[in-house]
Amino acid sequence: MRENRLKELWAEGHPALGGWLGIPSSTSAEMMAHAGFDWLCVDMQHGAIEYQVAVTMLQAISTTDTVPIVRVPWNEPGIIMKMLDAGAYGVIIPMVNSRAEAEAAVAACRYAPDGIRSYGPARAVLYAGPDYFSRANETVLCIPMIETREALANVDEIVGTPGVDVAFIGPSDLSVSLGLPPSTDQDAAEFVSAITSVEAACKRHGVVAGVFAGNATVAGKRIEQGFRLLEVADDGRTMVTGAAAALAQLREPA
Amino acid sequence: MRENRLKELWAEGHPALGGWLGIPSSTSAEMMAHAGFDWLCVDMQHGAIEYQVAVTMLQAISTTDTVPIVRVPWNEPGIIMKMLDAGAYGVIIPMVNSRAEAEAAVAACRYAPDGIRSYGPARAVLYAGPDYFSRANETVLCIPMIETREALANVDEIVGTPGVDVAFIGPSDLSVSLGLPPSTDQDAAEFVSAITSVEAACKRHGVVAGVFAGNATVAGKRIEQGFRLLEVADDGRTMVTGAAAALAQLREPA
Amino acid sequence: MRENRLKELWAEGHPALGGWLGIPSSTSAEMMAHAGFDWLCVDMQHGAIEYQVAVTMLQAISTTDTVPIVRVPWNEPGIIMKMLDAGAYGVIIPMVNSRAEAEAAVAACRYAPDGIRSYGPARAVLYAGPDYFSRANETVLCIPMIETREALANVDEIVGTPGVDVAFIGPSDLSVSLGLPPSTDQDAAEFVSAITSVEAACKRHGVVAGVFAGNATVAGKRIEQGFRLLEVADDGRTMVTGAAAALAQLREPA
Amino acid sequence: MRENRLKELWAEGHPALGGWLGIPSSTSAEMMAHAGFDWLCVDMQHGAIEYQVAVTMLQAISTTDTVPIVRVPWNEPGIIMKMLDAGAYGVIIPMVNSRAEAEAAVAACRYAPDGIRSYGPARAVLYAGPDYFSRANETVLCIPMIETREALANVDEIVGTPGVDVAFIGPSDLSVSLGLPPSTDQDAAEFVSAITSVEAACKRHGVVAGVFAGNATVAGKRIEQGFRLLEVADDGRTMVTGAAAALAQLREPA
Amino acid sequence: MRENRLKELWAEGHPALGGWLGIPSSTSAEMMAHAGFDWLCVDMQHGAIEYQVAVTMLQAISTTDTVPIVRVPWNEPGIIMKMLDAGAYGVIIPMVNSRAEAEAAVAACRYAPDGIRSYGPARAVLYAGPDYFSRANETVLCIPMIETREALANVDEIVGTPGVDVAFIGPSDLSVSLGLPPSTDQDAAEFVSAITSVEAACKRHGVVAGVFAGNATVAGKRIEQGFRLLEVADDGRTMVTGAAAALAQLREPA
Amino acid sequence: MRENRLKELWAEGHPALGGWLGIPSSTSAEMMAHAGFDWLCVDMQHGAIEYQVAVTMLQAISTTDTVPIVRVPWNEPGIIMKMLDAGAYGVIIPMVNSRAEAEAAVAACRYAPDGIRSYGPARAVLYAGPDYFSRANETVLCIPMIETREALANVDEIVGTPGVDVAFIGPSDLSVSLGLPPSTDQDAAEFVSAITSVEAACKRHGVVAGVFAGNATVAGKRIEQGFRLLEVADDGRTMVTGAAAALAQLREPA
């Protein structure tokens, strides 16, 4: 079975730098897959992407060695299993707030006896190899998101759930839940301590800490804090930022 | 009928700064439509875009005041007319090399007696208004591309064809035709003189000079040379360039 | 932030007349958006519409001032949040039968502290404006449907749930639940009293009463009964009815 | 092979009443296929429809006995052959202005020795039956459009071209070509005589006269004039007209 | 209302032989619909198929008399109802492990008073006929899957749930749940007895026994065991197996 | 630049065995790409495939080493160039009947000075590598089809056109043109001699002979005749043949 390169990167002590895809197109996905990221996440929650296009995006990513990750819209077994069947090597699951929710997320990601995943990995076998069934449970990543006050309160129970590979912070939702404006980084003490406390919980439980950084500067800071799965840039924002900069150069000459 | 803002910009002496769309998605198109461009071109020639998606991209652009332009795959009446019916306010037509080809391009863009455009502007009427038929010929732009050695030789005949509104240089194809490597700008004398000779021909014939600049720096230079329709940034390259820069910041710290 | 015109209409004492979209196409959606409705509902429950097409329909509606509403397939947070992120200014939620279900519907529509909506309004920000986060909770409409005997029994608890803006009657389902044949209007006493009792409950709780009228005649009657959010015509039925009338004129001349 | 019911209708002396599809959706196509038309035309010229959706529309029509017709964007063999392979039982070809253009249209519709149609009727065999090859030339209709002044001048040469089954008038384009505003019917003498002269030419050559009527009233008139293939109603206009009428009933009560 | 031919086959004592569709295309669906199966299942669980394409596949199947069945991704009322509205004559529901889950599955398939299905059978009425509402409950099949150890333990409660028409074994998932490698058939005693025990339970409760056979040989064996709803071949595996055989003939000549 | 493995196979004296794709789906394309073919052809002529889906199929093929080939609908520069930009490593062009048509086909496939191909290989660069421009002319295959009596008469002129890499026989069209029923193989003398004469012409001009074989038996025979580019199996027929065989096993037991 094709190895999960993210696990190899972590074993070598490296952070895994990722891109985020919200544009529903296999064309932009393939371009981003050639841009040098270690992994790409097809975002089916806040991205404008539904299953049918997501599959073509996973195919586009599979033309390279970039590791394909999917964020599902919600913690539901149907869509988690569909995306794993489609070849995702990890699933990011929003709004996991309790041990029970974490266990449900894990169960959807694992074949029996570790979970309840239904068998039928039609595309995953093509991507991963014929021994997919026997090695899938140890290869695909289950990545619950920690992004609410409630999740912070339960962080050890969530992160310590057997089968959780990564805990991934959604900083905007975390901000909102804490009564702050949505942001990928801010100085508010409660926000700062939340970030560090999740990372510390991950360390306690031998789980990788991940985070949506939003840009390279924040990503660099988070790497120093111990995070090892980092969203660095998304497709749409990167495009629009670059476009606006080009226009500004012409419209406001120095 | 909704005015063509590009004509207004030119009447006020301003260049029209545009974006280029090669990603087949109404989501990326709408993002770019909010980025501040005067116009956007849905590129059906080298972009990965066919009619059905192109229509949704034109709809997305129409949620803003950005002027919708389309580059068709080839100088063929069927697709030119389809895109005008879909609400394009201008059509860029590749590889127009002679007076006859320029006349064919114009004919496809104009209702009788100025051309042979077939009547049925289903979406164009929604976008432009109920008086579309009576004012379309004077509103939509016919934009042949000058991008071969042969076109350079016939530039006055092409640019002087009644109904041509803009002559648009494709610098990469022009380079290739001149025996140079493809590039949006280069120092080779033949390339430089080609650029200026097309602009001069436009001036002689009272036609707007346009060009695919590729970036803001070249666009600024072309504006100084007299060009008034300028591609400044495309969707995919802008995205990938920004993504690569973010990764480089993390991977090669100073 | 762009105002919700439905709230303005109600503040001015006007009913809001709407169209219903079941055809999965941004083309028909854009045509209907130009037909003069105050609002249009993209019906993802009984319409033949899934997320990816729904987004293009919302874009098409956004080329006009028509207010975009979505009916989701079921009372599930994942899809409710996705459609709000896509720019819906209101979400109609089927089969809300209890206080708990109404609270779940509201929670999915509101950012903390009023709910659990996850942050990432990618398209909504483009449609509504950069201050979307701070004003979304007060702008987007949460519209549970009252359409079962059980919901009738719990109508005050449902309608009185904080955050419910409109209670929307599904008359066909209501009929079926009452043991009657499905219909948008009928004389059966139980049906008639159900309609008036929901409207009365809305009045008690300061909530707008809405209903699927099916045609203009029933809509007129419902307006007189106090309803202020009215479905008047859908895309497919209107089309087929008109087509059949045209054929009848030719096949059965008087 | 499945018979072409239009030929049967004509043999029985009946006009064939048709609907026109411009909305790119198999859902609206299937609804219209159940509305009672003798035939439906998937309009790839002025409708917002490209090949991939057109195929699903032909499938939707094939769930009924309604005869599937396609209008191609232009008189080009590639697309004519693709639509016949997809199961169209007739192809309407725009802007046929001369004998040579009519012969090219016919050639694209017929297998050798009558034409140059390439063999590969993948879907047509499913729709029509295993003997498709041997009977296709006599079954599928070649329908050039007469819609310009030039075509009027050449009407006998066009209509008399062997293999032409129907001559179909595009009244809006014909109007424009004659210097009149686009309309499906008008009193201008030149328009009126054009209509009758085409019908007369058809009669002379034993060819069916067809026309885009736009509504039932004009269709009735054209039937009296001798036309036998009549567009009676299209999808979008019928829908919007009905919707506007419903709104008018509520907004402007008598 | 159009009869459900599967019920007729069973009444006549015949097994119903089916095909399985995992390729998201109305083209392959229509080809398979002409291949001679009694029924086809659009697999939205392990197939690469989401709602929007599934509808076009159901339309394609409806060009023939093949009975359209859908497997939904999970036991959720929203998607079950959507697929019935789209004209499915039966719904296969994965992982039904208890009486409560079976009752929920049935409820989603039935109008009141037998269930909670919401009314709006837009496409189903076109496919089935105008009396759909009054006869749907007795016509469409509710088909829970028995595919876990837990379901085996509860088989009588599940199979005996009023409204269950067929119990369908998923042999691969059943194998995995029993600690065996996934397979459609194997000799392990626990597997063999599971198959026969489910069939026996069906017989006790007057319910049809169904199974995913995977190939004709296993299907023949299952028919002898008493099964009457049999998956015989799927689209992708059949295609790839045939392709590999063709290549083997050329690459390894005897 | 990524090498064209077909050229390598031929250099090593091997025939190149290919599959044919007519189902418009990246899912079936990816399955076939894993089935062991040397190349796959996305058939945009008789397959039910248009540009937008074709691109996703090319991406799916690119997840493997299978060489991506495209058959375009017609000998038109717009679509030939679009498919090369999309990463096709060869283009099969139907109905090339003369030297002029062969030259036009070649010109569309080659950058200046060898042709008129327009520069903009957006996806091709991702697939092939950054030096695509400098090596494309020698890498991508121009493959005109010989499939009419006229082409047979001009075979030396066509095959000898500089830039033609392969001459590909369409045996069904060739049969029809010769007055025979369409078939991939038959005993009629004129058919047999046509096959051998094309192969002989290829040999004379140092061009590879290719053919649509239809099955492995005919492919084996053609290999013995000297053909080196062989279609062996298509997606739909292989699927349906296998499905019918499975059904026959159950319905007609020996």
pLDDT in tens, E66-119: 999 999 999 999 999 999 999 999 999 999 999 999 999 999 999 999 999 999
The answer, yes or no, to whether residue D253 has pLDDT greater than 60, is no
Of D51, D76, D85, the CB nearest to F50: D51
Asked whether the beta carbons of F182 and F216 are under 8 A apart, the reply is no
Cis peptide before C113 (omega within 30 of 0): yes
Interface of D with E in 106-125 (CB under 8 A): 123
Q: What value does the mean pLDDT take over residues D29-40? A: 98
Of A14, A34, A46, A205, catalytic: A46
Return the higher-pLDDT residue of E215 and D254.
E215
Q: B218 falls in which pLDDT band (50, 70, 90)? A: very high
Asked whether the beta carbons of F166 and D109 are under 8 A apart, the reply is no
**Where do the domains of chain A lie, and which CATH numbers do they carry?**
5-251 (3.20.20.60)
Q: What value does the mean pLDDT take over residues D229-237? A: 98
Q: What value does the mean pLDDT take over residues A99-109? A: 98
Distance (Å, rounded) from C-alpha B146 to C-alpha B211?
Answer: 9
User: Positive or negative CA dihedral for D60, D62, D67, D70?
Assistant: positive
Long-range residue pairs from E129-136, CB within 8 A, at least 24 positions apart, any chain = E129/E1, E129/E2, E131/E1, E132/E1, E133/C176, E133/C181, E133/C182, E134/C181, E134/E1, E135/E1, E136/E1, E136/E84, E136/E111
* Minimum Cα–Cα distance from A40: chain B residue: B243
Q: Could you tell me which residues come within 8 angstroms of residue A198 by beta carbon, excluding any fewer than 6 positions away?
A: A146, A152, A155, A159, A167, A169, A209
Of A79, A111, A122, the CB nearest to E48: A122
Q: What value does the mean pLDDT take over residues C93-110? A: 98
Lowest mean pLDDT among C105-119, D222-236, D239-253, F75-89: D239-253
Residue with tokens 């609400």: B87
Q: Residue A176 is encoded by which pair of tokens?
A: 């909102």
The shortest C-alpha distance from F87 to chain B (Å) reads: 11
pLDDT of residue A253: 55
The shortest C-alpha distance from E49 to chain A (Å) reads: 7
pTM, full prediction? 0.98
Angle between helices C235-251 and D235-251 (to 10 degrees): 100
Q: What value does the mean pLDDT take over residues A78-91? A: 98
Of B50, B76, B179, the CB nearest to F50: B50
SS3 sequence of E110-165: CCCCCCCCCCCCHHHHHHHCCCHHHHHHHHCEEEEEECCHHHHHCHHHHHCCCCCC
- Chain D residues closer than 8 Å to E130 by CB: none
Q: Do A113 and E179 touch (CB under 8 A)?
A: yes
Pick the closest to residue A200 from A169, A163, A231, A232 (CA basis): A169
Distance (Å, rounded) from C-alpha A243 to C-alpha A241?
Answer: 5
Q: Residue E79 is encoded by which pair of tokens?
A: 């998607």
Phi-psi region of E11 (alpha: psi -120 to 50; beta: other; left: phi over 0): alpha
Q: What value does the mean pLDDT take over residues C126-139? A: 98
Distance (Å, rounded) from C-alpha A75 to C-alpha C77?
Answer: 10
C-alpha count within 13 angstroms, C-beta hemisphere, residue B177: 23
Q: Where are the alpha helices (DSSP H) in D75-140?
A: 77-85, 99-109, 122-128, 132-139
Widest CA span in chain C: 66
E233, β-bridge pairs: E19
Q: Residue D86 is encoded by which pair of tokens?
A: 């997809």
Q: Do A173 and C51 touch (CB under 8 A)?
A: no
φ/ψ of residue E8, rounded to 5: -65, -45
The answer, yes or no, to whether residue A24 has pLDDT greater than 70, is yes
- Chain A residues closer than 8 Å to B40 by CB: none
pLDDT of residue F74: 98
The shortest C-alpha distance from E237 to chain F (Å) reads: 8
- The DSSP annotation for E166-221 comes to EEEE-HHHHHHHTTSPP-S----HHHHHHHHHHHHHHHHHT-EEEEE-SSHHHHHH
Catalytic residues of F: 46
pLDDT digits over E41-65, tens only?
Answer: 999 999 999 999 999 999 999 999 9
Q: What value does the mean pLDDT take over residues A36-55? A: 98
pLDDT of residue D93: 98
Q: Do A113 and E53 touch (CB under 8 A)?
A: no
Q: What value does the mean pLDDT take over residues B184-192? A: 98
Name the helix (H) or strand (E) containing F1.
Answer: none
C42, β-bridge pairs: C21, C70
Indicate the DSSP class of residue B217.
H
Q: Do B122 and D170 touch (CB under 8 A)?
A: no
Asked whether the beta carbons of D208 and D230 are under 8 A apart, the reply is no
The answer, yes or no, to whether residue E254 has pLDDT greater than 90, is no
The answer to whether chain F touches chain A by having 3 or more C-beta pairs less than 8 angstroms apart is yes
Cα separations (Å) of F108 from A195, B136, C168, F104?
57, 33, 59, 6
Q: Residue A82 is encoded by which pair of tokens?
A: 């569909």
pLDDT digits over B34-77, tens only?
Answer: 999 999 999 999 999 999 999 999 999 999 999 999 999 999 99
Q: Please, what is the Cα angle at F184 between F182 and F185, to 5 degrees?
A: 105
Mean pLDDT score of chain A, rounded to an integer? 97
Asked whether the beta carbons of D46 and B122 are under 8 A apart, the reply is yes
* Minimum Cα–Cα distance from A28: chain F residue: F123
pLDDT of residue E109: 98
> Which of A26, A51, A74, A84 is the best mutation test for E, with the most CBs of E within 10 A?
A51
Q: What value does the mean pLDDT take over residues C223-233? A: 98
Pick the closest to residue B50 from F50, D41, E235 (CA basis): F50
The answer, yes or no, to whether residue B253 has pLDDT greater than 90, is no
Distance of CA C251 to the CA centre of its chain: 38
Q: What value does the mean pLDDT take over residues E132-142? A: 98
pLDDT digits over A162-171, tens only?
Answer: 999 999 999 9
Q: B240 falls in which pLDDT band (50, 70, 90)? A: very high
ipTM reported for the complex surpasses 0.95:
yes
Q: Residue E207 is encoded by which pair of tokens?
A: 């319910």
The shortest C-alpha distance from C211 to chain D (Å) reads: 15
Q: How many CB atoms lie within 10 A of CB B120?
A: 21
Distance (Å, rounded) from C-alpha A192 to C-alpha F198?
Answer: 75
* Minimum Cα–Cα distance from E97: chain A residue: A116
Of B31, B215, B236, the CB nearest to A246: B215
pLDDT of residue F253: 55
Distance (Å, rounded) from C-alpha B132 to C-alpha B125?
Answer: 6
- The DSSP annotation for chain A comes to ----HHHHHHHTT--EEEEEE-S--HHHHHHHHTTT-SEEEEESSSSS--HHHHHHHHHHHTTSSPEEEEE-SSS-HHHHHHHHHTT-SEEEES---SHHHHHHHHHHHS-TTS--PPS--HHHHHHH-TTHHHHHHHHSEEEEEE-SHHHHHTHHHHHTSTT--EEEE-HHHHHHHTTS---S----HHHHHHHHHHHHHHHHHT-EEEEE-SSHHHHHHHHHHT--EEEEEEHHHHHHHHHHHHHHHHHS--
The answer, yes or no, to whether residue E252 has pLDDT greater than 90, is no
Distance (Å, rounded) from C-alpha C152 to C-alpha C163?
Answer: 19
Name the helix (H) or strand (E) containing C100.
Answer: helix C99-109
The answer, yes or no, to whether residue C253 has pLDDT greater than 60, is no
pLDDT of residue C178: 98
Q: Which chains, if any, share at least 3 CB pairs under 8 A with chain E?
A: A, C, D, F
Task: Measure the CA dihedral B22/B27/B29/B32, to 10°.
Answer: -110
Residue type, C200: A
φ/ψ of residue F103, rounded to 5: -65, -40
Asked whether the beta carbons of F124 and F82 are under 8 A apart, the reply is no
Mean pLDDT score of chain C, rounded to an integer? 97
Mean pLDDT score of chain D, rounded to an integer? 97
Q: Give the residue ranges of chain F where pLDDT is below 70.
A: 252-254
pLDDT digits over D208-220, tens only?
Answer: 999 999 999 999 9
Q: E253 falls in which pLDDT band (50, 70, 90)? A: low
Distance (Å, rounded) from C-alpha C229 to C-alpha C166?
Answer: 8
Cα separations (Å) of E29 from D59, D181, E49, E229?
11, 46, 12, 19
Interface of F with A in 63-82 (CB under 8 A): 63
Q: Residue E233 is encoded by which pair of tokens?
A: 């071949």
The answer, yes or no, to whether residue B185 has pLDDT greater than 80, is yes
Residue with tokens 């939205």: E44
Task: Measure the CA dihedral C227/C228/C231/C232, to 10°.
Answer: 90
Residue with tokens 């009314």: E119
pLDDT digits over A200-217, tens only?
Answer: 999 999 999 999 999 999
* Minimum Cα–Cα distance from A115: chain E residue: E177
Q: What value does the mean pLDDT take over residues E210-233? A: 98
* Minimum Cα–Cα distance from D237: chain B residue: B122
Distance (Å, rounded) from C-alpha F253 to C-alpha E113?
Answer: 45
- Chain B residues closer than 8 Å to F74 by CB: none
Pick the closest to residue C115 from A147, A184, A177 (CA basis): A177
